[in-house]
């Protein structure tokens, strides 16, 4: 019998929301002055024993229908205070309480709605407002509310009241699927679901429900609203049921979360019983060697203790000590999880389910002094922290979230090292032999040879940059070495492999001129180099690639040929579109006139440049309209003259030009023009002006007489 054990679940008893509500009422009971009346709107928790104690202490349970009457009865000598339970209230009830409290200061209310429930209220109100805006814009409701929960549960009734559109409530994933099949207009139309869950729902049913909605809708709004404590409580109950051969569930018969705990445990451990009080315990049979105790969120600790004490009479165990252990004994160095109960400018406070309150100062949360804790957290959030110091006398435990984050992230770094995965980090400093980067809140040393910076290069250029690295070595005391170079090497290899997998002749690339030699230029095509031979750089003959390109130029090239085995690529740069002869023949035709530049003089004629890369020959007979001894008598190198294209030899790419043709054409035009007399050219208007005109005419006649040929 010595090896028989009883285990009390660590999360047994009041959850954060219930504990806050009960403490608020108990404090008011203790401080209430003569004449004050205290009420709870509905039963405060799902536990009849506890509610009877409240009633014995003067606390009365009322309904919404009683509020107006009580507000009217409240006086300064007999004030009324109403406590709203953790399940919350409807939007209409909240408005009524606010109005009544504003009209009579002797009437007041305390809203003890759980922060998790408040979150669902906000979600429903937000999407209800979105529907309202859509209606105002001329459309209709485009969202409907879907709830995994009990339709009559106070929680569900409360947040359904905050959504005016279409809504559906179902108790299981199977029921959810059936309801969607019936509502074909929802799945076939443009409606988008807003999916939430009652805070005490079974996490497995919730996961199945989410899958159903993700399958039926493309972009559903899904919110994980199951209380994290409920999730932890259910997970712990399942684990305990697997380890034990008898489970006792303690909780009220109308408690939703107690029912879920019983269902979970019963499905795993057949010998599971559900009791509200110790006197409902059955006889514990001797064969049971391992017994587990779990309790719902509305179960007071004294009832848990009463049940365990009664069991101790049979099992000869000190259950009071077991219960005390279940309330967590904190020690320096422990890692604990708590629920945020208070947020101020410099710290947050946590309910740890222990005798002390957890406190995390801002400097133990973040290194950013400007960070606002109220924006980072909200009341009800679950936070994991490291215990720095415990003071039972002061009732506080100093905690560090940074330490837990760092430790968790370090495990992630170790896992990445073992898996050979890459990590991202920010380089923050240069030190002897390398640089340091912050990776997931941990410092990683990167030796200079692994930075990717060339030898003698400036390591400080990396400071401030976010880099991708791989862990080379894990040492003691959370020390590690990393490499940027290995990541760059692998990236280059992957880039090269992808390049060679996709290359083909004729494929066009945009690359950068990397280097030049006497015979060509090397072009970086994106991690792989190709070579453009000088003959491929220009249609003209060049002596060096530098005549056409400069290092750093971005150029478009195409693959002429390649050898994947030898990693060689021959590139082309010049194209038919850039062929000077192609350009010339598309700009000029026989008979066109063009300004040409004399580039060389030969005994038989002159060569002239028509466009860059295309020259034409002006034969000596086509240079002038009279016989000349040599081209240099009329032309000189560099001179620009107009010439007519008189022949184009496409096969041999030769052009014949003529200046003479233009001269003869001009002369013929001049001879064909009519000769005007002096009088026609300048008619005399006055006697004074007539004399010089006559004199000019005489001179013209005289010149003509001299030049006229003598007739035989």
Q: 358: domain CATH number?
A: 2.40.50.140
Residue 382 belongs to a domain: yes
d(CA 554, CA 559): 16
Residues 584 and 572 in one domain: no
Residues 515 and 562 in one domain: yes
Residue 5 belongs to a domain: no
Residues 128 and 207 in one domain: yes
Residue 260 belongs to a domain: yes
Tens of pLDDT, residue by residue over 306-319, are 887 777 666 654 44
Residues 362 and 296 in one domain: no
Query: Which of 78, 99, 115 delimits the end of a domain?
Result: 115
What's the pTM value of the predicted model, to 2 decimals?
A: 0.44
Residues 59 and 97 in one domain: yes
Catalytic residue among 91, 94, 155, 305: 155
Residues 514 and 571 in one domain: yes
Rounded to the nearest angstrom, the gap between the alpha carbon of residue 424 and the centroid of all alpha carbons in its chain is 15
Residues 109 and 34 in one domain: yes
Q: Which residue has the higher pLDDT, 656 or 653?
A: 656
Least confident of 57-66, 233-242, 277-286, 615-624: 277-286
Residues 481 and 427 in one domain: yes
Radius of gyration of the chain (CA): 48
Query: Which of 280, 298, 326 delimits the end of a domain?
Result: 326
To the nearest whole percent, how much of the chain has pLDDT over 70? 90
Residues 541 and 484 in one domain: no
Whether pLDDT at 707 is above 80: no
Partnered with residue 81 across adjacent β-strands are 38, 108
State the chain's mean pLDDT as an integer. 84
* Domains contained in the chain, number: 8
The average pLDDT across 592-611 equals: 93
Angle formed by the axes of helices 203-216 and 228-243, nearest 10°: 120
To the nearest whole percent, how much of the chain has pLDDT over 90? 35
Residue 540 buriedness (CB in 10 A; 0-12 / 13-18 / 19+): exposed
Could you tell me the residue range of the domain that residue 614 belongs to? 580-670
Active site residue 155: yes
DSSP-assigned states of every residue in 112-130? ---HHHHHHHHHHHHHHHH
Residue 692 belongs to a domain: yes
Nearest C-alpha neighbor of 333 from the set 277, 400, 410: 400
Tens of pLDDT, residue by residue over 84-139, are 998 999 999 999 999 999 999 999 999 999 888 999 999 999 999 999 998 888 88
Query: Which of 57, 83, 115 delimits the end of a domain?
Result: 115
Residues 100 and 129 in one domain: no
Whether pLDDT at 619 is above 90: yes
d(CA 171, CA 459): 62
Whether pLDDT at 498 is above 90: no
d(CA 163, CA 395): 43
Tens of pLDDT, residue by residue over 343-376, are 888 899 988 877 788 999 998 988 777 888 989 9
Residues 129 and 99 in one domain: no
CB-CB contact of 409 with 444 (8 Å): no
Instruction: Determine the pLDDT at residue 683.
Output: 53
Residues 605 and 660 in one domain: yes
Instruction: Determine the pLDDT at residue 197.
Output: 94
Residue 9 belongs to a domain: no
């Amino acid at each position: 019998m010595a090896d028989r054990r009883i285990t009390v679940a660590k999360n047994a008893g009041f959850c954060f929301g219930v504990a806050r509500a009960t403490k608020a009422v108990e404090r008011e009971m203790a401080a209430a002055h003569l004449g004050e009346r205290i009420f709870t709107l509905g039963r405060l928790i799902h536990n009849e024993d506890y509610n009877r104690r409240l009633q014995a202490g003067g606390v009365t349970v009322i309904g919404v229908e009683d509020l107006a009457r009580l507000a009217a009865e409240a006086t300064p000598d007999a004030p009324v205070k109403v406590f709203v339970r953790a399940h919350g209230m409807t939007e209409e009830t909240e408005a009524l309480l606010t109005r009544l409290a504003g009209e009579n200061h002797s009437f007041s209310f305390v809203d003890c709605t759980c922060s998790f429930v408040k979150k669902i209220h906000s979600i429903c109100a937000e999407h209800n407002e979105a529907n309202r805006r859509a209606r105002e814009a001329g459309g209709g409701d485009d969202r409907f509310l879907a709830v995994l929960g009990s339709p009559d549960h106070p929680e569900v009734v409360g947040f359904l009241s905050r959504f005016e559109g279409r809504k559906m409530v179902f108790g299981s994933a199977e029921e959810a699927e059936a309801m969607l099949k019936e509502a074909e207009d929802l799945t076939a139309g443009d409606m988008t679901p807003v999916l939430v869950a009652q805070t005490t729902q079974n996490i497995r049913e919730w996961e199945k429900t989410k899958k159903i909605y993700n399958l039926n809708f493309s972009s559903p709004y899904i919110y994980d609203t199951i209380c994290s404590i409920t999730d932890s409580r259910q997970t712990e109950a399942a684990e305990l049921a697997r380890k034990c051969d008898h489970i006792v569930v303690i909780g009220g018969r109308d408690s939703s979360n107690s029912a879920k705990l019983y269902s979970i445990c019963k499905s795993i451990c057949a010998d599971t019983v559900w009791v509200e009080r110790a006197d409902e315990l059955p006889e514990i049979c001797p064969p049971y060697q391992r017994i587990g105790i779990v309790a719902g969120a509305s179960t007071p600790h004294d009832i848990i203790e009463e049940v365990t004490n009664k069991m101790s009479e049979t099992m000869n165990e000190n259950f009071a000590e077991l219960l005390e252990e279940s309330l967590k004994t904190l020690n320096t160095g422990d890692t604990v999880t708590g629920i945020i109960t208070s947020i101020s400018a410099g710290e947050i406070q946590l309910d740890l389910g222990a005798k002390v309150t957890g406190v995390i100062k801002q400097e133990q949360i973040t290194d950013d002094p400007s960070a606002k804790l109220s924006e980072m957290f909200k009341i009800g959030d679950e936070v994991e922290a490291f215990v720095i110091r415990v003071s039972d006398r002061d009732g506080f435990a100093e905690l560090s979230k940074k330490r837990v984050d760092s430790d968790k992230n370090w495990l992630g770094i170790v896992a990445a090292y073992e898996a050979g995965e890459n990590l991202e980090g920010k380089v923050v400093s240069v030190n002897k032999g390398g640089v340091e980067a912050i990776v997931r809140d941990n410092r990683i040393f990167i030796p200079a040879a692994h930075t990717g910076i060339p030898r003698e290069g400036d390591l400080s250029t990396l400071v401030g940059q976010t880099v991708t690295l791989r862990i080379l070595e894990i040492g003691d005391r959370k020390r590690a070495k990393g490499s940027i170079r290995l990541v760059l090497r692998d990236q280059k290899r992957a880039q090269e492999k992808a390049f060679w997998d996709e290359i083909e002749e004729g494929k066009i690339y945009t690359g950068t001129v990397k280097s030049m030699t006497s015979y060509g230029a090397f072009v970086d095509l994106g991690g792989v180099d190709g070579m453009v031979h000088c003959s491929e750089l220009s249609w003209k003959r060049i002596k060096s690639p530098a005549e056409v390109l400069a290092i750093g130029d971005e150029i478009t090239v195409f693959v002429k040929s390649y050898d994947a085995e030898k990693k060689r690529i021959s590139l082309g740069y010049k194209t038919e579109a850039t062929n000077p002869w192609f350009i010339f023949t598309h700009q000029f035709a026989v008979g066109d006139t063009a300004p040409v530049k004399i580039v060389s003089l030969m005994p038989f004629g002159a060569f002239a440049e028509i466009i860059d890369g295309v020259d034409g020959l002006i034969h000596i007979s086509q240079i002038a309209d009279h016989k000349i001894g040599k081209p240099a008598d009329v032309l000189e190198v560099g001179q620009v003259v107009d010439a007519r294209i008189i022949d184009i030899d496409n096969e041999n790419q030769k052009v014949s030009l003529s200046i003479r043709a233009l001269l003869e054409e001009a002369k013929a035009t001049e001879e064909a023009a009519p000769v005007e007399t002096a009088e026609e050219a300048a008619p005399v208007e006055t006697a004074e002006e007539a004399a010089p005109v006559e004199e000019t005419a005489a001179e013209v006649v005289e010149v003509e007489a001299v030049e006229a040929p003598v007739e035989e």
